[in-house]
Amino acid sequence: MTTGPKKPGPSEGKTVLRARSQDEGIIEVAWCYYQEGMNQNEIAERLGFSRATVVNYLSEARRRDYVRITLDHTIFRNQELARKLVDTFGLKDAIVVPASSDGPERSLDRVTRVVSDWLPSLLEPGDRLGVAWGETIYRVAEAAPRLSLNELTVVQLVGSRPAAMGFAAETSSATLARRYGAHCINLHVPLVLSDRDLVDRLKQEPVIREQLEAVANCNKTIFACGTCGENSHVVHTGLLDHADIAACAQQGAVGVICGRLIDGEGKGLDREIESRMIGVTLDQMRNKDMGLLVGSGPERARPMLAAIRGGYATHVATSSDTALDILKLALDPC
């Protein structure tokens, strides 16, 4: 009995792909997309995945730091507004990124990401980098590349204070140190205490005294200057309540550096609570080899200008709209 040609089965005529783990799949998808320039449909066809799986794997590769996309930060340093900031305020350098049309949150994300790429180029062997607290610095630390920076010490600048979403000071310093393969010195005390005598006794403890010496001896810092409104970081963390921050604003406070309030010229306000705080002082924040001020947003221009005028910043990173606001305020404070 003769028969016609055998019809191919459903798996014939196609490459039979071996089973692969999810990790292998993520790596293969990332390689095809970033190294071979294939589009998502082509990758799905080659590897036998759905397009949705390819999209998810590419996202996971970014999340795991398998892939890191950067732009040359020189582009942003040579931007016209960056040069105006440097020339106007006598800064050593500045970076200005385009503001996002999606709003201030996306603009801040852009700023913190470019800072995470810029910061390593500002560090040298033997540096002692003081790290402040708050959401902005936390974002920089989270976005930092995994490097091995020789003989770098990262120092927590302020004592501990509960903060939402992990923005505590020790989290930022430890994360940045881990990303850079650096030695980390944390400050193992509360930021503020109820008893001045207890503050003085703690500062005399050998371990704490050694940590505070490291704080004082930082030659470079990275910090943000917070606002003095009801949404201020110092309000959210309970350092001050709404009535306190409103009263301080009435007395001329416009910004917050490491928990300490400053006026429009960058001078500290004489507040009783500061005698009960453990951390870097405003005097210790001045005259560094590098003071990298990071910030973006409609409420950040005035605090950032105060920090610049107070001599805390040698380098600035911000968005284009905030840079314009800073320059306008410098010319016309009203």
Identify the CATH number of the domain in which residue 250 sits: 3.40.50.1360
Percent of the chain at pLDDT > 70 equals 92
Domain count, the chain: 2
Collapsing DSSP to helix, strand or coil, 293 comes out as: strand
CB 82 within 8 A of CB 73: no
Question: Does some domain include residue 1?
Answer: no
Q: Could you give the CA distance from residue 269 to residue 279 in angstroms, rounded to a whole number?
A: 16
pTM listed for this prediction? 0.83
pLDDT for the residue 248: 84
CB 47 within 8 A of CB 17: yes
pLDDT for the residue 256: 92
Question: Does some domain include residue 5?
Answer: no
Q: Helix %, strand %, coil % for the chain, to 5?
A: 45, 15, 40
Percent of the chain at pLDDT > 90 equals 67
Question: Does some domain include residue 2?
Answer: no
Question: Does some domain include residue 35?
Answer: yes
Per-residue tokens: 192? 């503020």
pLDDT for the residue 1: 40
Q: Could you give the CA distance from residue 332 to residue 269 in angstroms, rounded to a whole number?
A: 24
Q: Give yes or no: residues 256 and 283 share one domain.
A: yes
Q: Give yes or no: residues 32 and 138 share one domain.
A: no
Q: Give yes or no: residues 294 and 318 share one domain.
A: yes
Q: Give yes or no: residues 41 and 102 share one domain.
A: no
Q: Which residues contact 143 (CB under 8 A, 6 or more apart)?
A: 112, 113, 115, 116
Q: Given 27, 47, 64, which residue is the final one in a domain? A: 64
Residues 16-31 have a mean pLDDT of 78
Q: Given 36, 64, 92, which residue is the final one in a domain? A: 64
Q: Give yes or no: residues 147 and 251 share one domain.
A: yes
Q: Could you give the CA distance from residue 215 to residue 195 in angstroms, rounded to a whole number?
A: 22
Q: Does residue 11 carry a pLDDT above 60? A: no
Q: What is the pLDDT of residues 269-297, one digit of tens each?
A: 978 888 899 999 999 999 999 999 999 99
Residue 267 pLDDT class (50, 70, 90 cuts): very high
Q: Does residue 9 carry a pLDDT above 60? A: no
Highest mean pLDDT among 9-23, 41-55, 182-196, 311-325: 311-325
Q: Give yes or no: residues 146 and 14 share one domain.
A: no
| Least trusted range by pLDDT, from 37-46, 70-79, 124-133, 288-297 | 70-79
Question: Does some domain include residue 184?
Answer: yes
pLDDT for the residue 5: 44
327 class by beta-carbon count within 10 Å (0-12 exposed, 13-18 middle, 19+ buried): middle
Give the CATH number for residue 59: 1.10.10
Helix segments in 237-319, DSSP class H: 242-250, 282-285, 301-309
Residues 241-249 have a mean pLDDT of 83
Q: What is the pLDDT of residues 68-105, one digit of tens each?
A: 777 788 888 899 999 999 999 999 999 999 999 999 99
Stronger pLDDT, 283 or 21, i.e. the higher one: 283
CB 224 within 8 A of CB 136: yes
Per-residue tokens: 219? 């030659």
User: Apex CA 238: angle with CA 292 and CA 131, to 5°?
Assistant: 20
Kindly provide the residue ranges of all beta strands, DSSP E only, lying in 190-289, ordered along the sequence.
Answer: 220-223, 255-257, 260-262
CB 288 within 8 A of CB 243: no
β-pair partners for 130: 155, 221
Question: Does some domain include residue 248?
Answer: yes
Question: Does some domain include residue 107?
Answer: yes
Q: Give yes or no: residues 96 and 152 share one domain.
A: yes
Residues 184-205 have a mean pLDDT of 93
Q: Give yes or no: residues 144 and 20 share one domain.
A: no
- Residue 18 structural domain: 10-64
Kindly provide the residue ranges of all beta strands, DSSP E only, lying in the chain, ordered along the sequence.
Answer: 93-97, 128-131, 153-156, 183-185, 220-223, 255-257, 260-262, 290-294, 315-319
Q: Give yes or no: residues 15 and 142 share one domain.
A: no
Closest listed residue to residue 324, CA positions, set 88, 46, 26: 88
Q: Given 22, 38, 64, which residue is the final one in a domain? A: 64
Other Cβ atoms within 10 Å of 160 Cβ, number: 19
Q: Give yes or no: residues 229 and 264 share one domain.
A: yes
pLDDT for the residue 117: 92
pLDDT for the residue 71: 75
Q: Does residue 306 carry a pLDDT above 90? A: yes
Residue 166 pLDDT class (50, 70, 90 cuts): low
β-pair partners for 129: 154, 220
Task: Please provide the DSSP assignment of 257-292 as one string.
Answer: ETTEEE-TTSPBP--GGGGGB-B--HHHHSS-SEEE
Question: Does some domain include residue 3?
Answer: no
Q: Give yes or no: residues 59 and 84 share one domain.
A: no
Q: Give yes or no: residues 47 and 150 share one domain.
A: no
